[in-house]
Amino acid sequence: MANQKTKTVYCCAECGYESANWAGKCPSCGAWNSMKEFRMQSGAGMHKGGSATESIGKPKRLSELDTSKEIRFSTGISELDRVLGGGAVCGSLILVGGAPGIGKSTLLLQLCGKISEDRVILYITGEESERQIKLRAERLGIEHDLLYVYTGTDMDGIRKTLDLVQPEIMIVDSIQTISDSGVGSMPGSPNQVRECTMQILRLTKDRGMTVFLIGHITKEGSLAGPKILEHMVDCVLYFEGERETSFRILRAVKNRFGSTNEIGVFEMHADGLICVENPSALLLSGRPEHSSGTCVTCVMEGSRPILAEIQALVSPGGHNASRRSNGIDFNRASMLIAVLEKRGGIPVTACDTYVNVVGGLTVDEPAADLATVLALASSYLDRPLGSELGAIGEVGLSGELRQVSYLNQRLSEIHRLGFRQCVVPANMKEIPADLPGLELIPVKNIRQAIQMTLSKQSTD
């Protein structure tokens, strides 16, 4: 220990950039006031972590590399397998991020219950006691002899436990609680998160085990710790949803072994997370009939079409008309309100307007523009659109309707759920498939869409 030296470094909390001097602006990523002071010990600490004295491997020719060792296994959770690209890959490092209380620990503990019958699993928890883990496992109905629980947070103890248990799968809950005594900073600091993740990465590749890391997110919605953390792992999953609602969405933002265009949908119950195989039917359940201010559209979540119900409420306002939106970008909703008044001839800008996407779903694609406009017009005129009508289309500033991608998949989902009519852009280049019982209503602009739908409903 006598040969260890302590030095002070300044590390950027956003990107992990290190500097010997403090700076108000990070020279690497440009973030302001992100340089934090840390004290590091060199010498024995680096040797202890194994990152500085790692033996150099022999280079191989590209033609000699073997790709047949990538073996996938099912996690037993269909929606998780879908997001991972068909299952987890042996020897991969997977980072699962999400807000506190969203269900990350529950999801991975359920994973343990599905696959621990034939695989040795080590569950490392730095946030909960053994008793808490046991109570949650009993609530989820998990009881297997091949599932081990370790409550330590030091990397030395984790290495010794790995040598003792020899697991095939390891879960770390959470990476922000793990620390290395050779790094002179507090647990959760950028230095600790980066160094511990690097050591876990080396253990993952050397032992060929699959590791799931749980990470917390900041109030801005990004993973806590340096950005380099997301570059080090093989797969980054975000567990999203409102704590007040029962729906959860698992989304891949990085996947070296699969596509990032898939999502998994879950519903939280008292006995754990339940996979939602048909999210469209679940999101539309309980939809009011013959009610104004509601319209259904189809959004693409990866390669999966999902029907979303958009509700709007327009009421007379005073001098300062208020606007609220939930599930739709506020600026996008404000733009559609202005277009509806200017191009659609409905004076809604002076009214109090509220837009909501049912079920806690977040809609961020322009294909939902037409449904939002029709829901607003329906609420203002107090005329229902009908429970068997959907709308798909992007709205421009001139009020024109523009074509959207994956039109056939969207229309097939609308047809499958029993809808009889759908408003679509008239200039669509993609020829819709033959869907018996579904009438397409092509329109050129929002004024024509309002006349074709709301005027028709008023005369029924």
| Residue range 143-195, pLDDT digits in tens | 888 899 999 899 999 999 999 999 999 999 989 899 998 877 778 777 788 88
Q: Report the topology of domain 71-277.
A: Rossmann fold (3.40.50)
pLDDT score of 258: 86
The pLDDT tens digits for 80-90 are 999 998 899 99
The total of other beta-carbon atoms located within 10 Å of residue 129's CB is 11
Please report, for the chain, the start and end positions of each structural domain, with discontinuous segments joined by +. 5-44, 71-277, 281-459
pLDDT surpassing 80 at residue 225: no
Output the pLDDT for position 41: 55
pLDDT higher for 47 or 130?
130
Give the C-alpha distances (Å, rounded to integers) separating 371 from 37, 333, 336, 453: 51, 11, 11, 11
Return the pLDDT at 340. 96
- What is the reported pLDDT for 47? 40
The pLDDT of residue 30 is 83
Query: Distance of CA 98 to CAs 13, 215, 239, 252, Å?
Result: 18, 7, 5, 12
> Considering the entire predicted model, what is its pTM?
0.74
Tell me what pLDDT residue 44 has: 41
Among the listed ranges 225-229, 369-373, 376-380, 414-418, which one has the minimum average pLDDT value?
A: 225-229
Is the distance from CB of 383 to CB of 293 less than 8 angstroms?
no
- In tens, the pLDDT along 231-242 reads 899 999 999 877
For the cut 60, the answer to whether the pLDDT of residue 456 exceeds it is: no
pLDDT digits (tens, 9 = 90+) for 3-12: 556 677 787 7
CATH number for the domain formed by residue range(s) 281-459? 3.30.230.10
- Tell me the two tokens of residue 449: 């869409």
- Which residue did the predictor score with more confidence, 263 or 56? 263
* pLDDT for the residue 361: 81
Please report which confidence band the pLDDT of residue 70 belongs to, taking 50, 70 and 90 as the band edges: low
**pLDDT bucket at 43, cuts 50 / 70 / 90:** very low
pLDDT band at 404 (very low <50, low <70, confident <90, very high): very high
pLDDT at 399 over 90: yes
Tell me what pLDDT residue 1 has: 43
Cα separation, 181 vs 63, in Å, equals 42
What confidence category does residue 49 fall into, taking pLDDT thresholds of 50, 70 and 90?
A: very low
The per-residue pLDDT for 21 is 87
Considering the chain, what is the average pLDDT of its residues?
A: 86
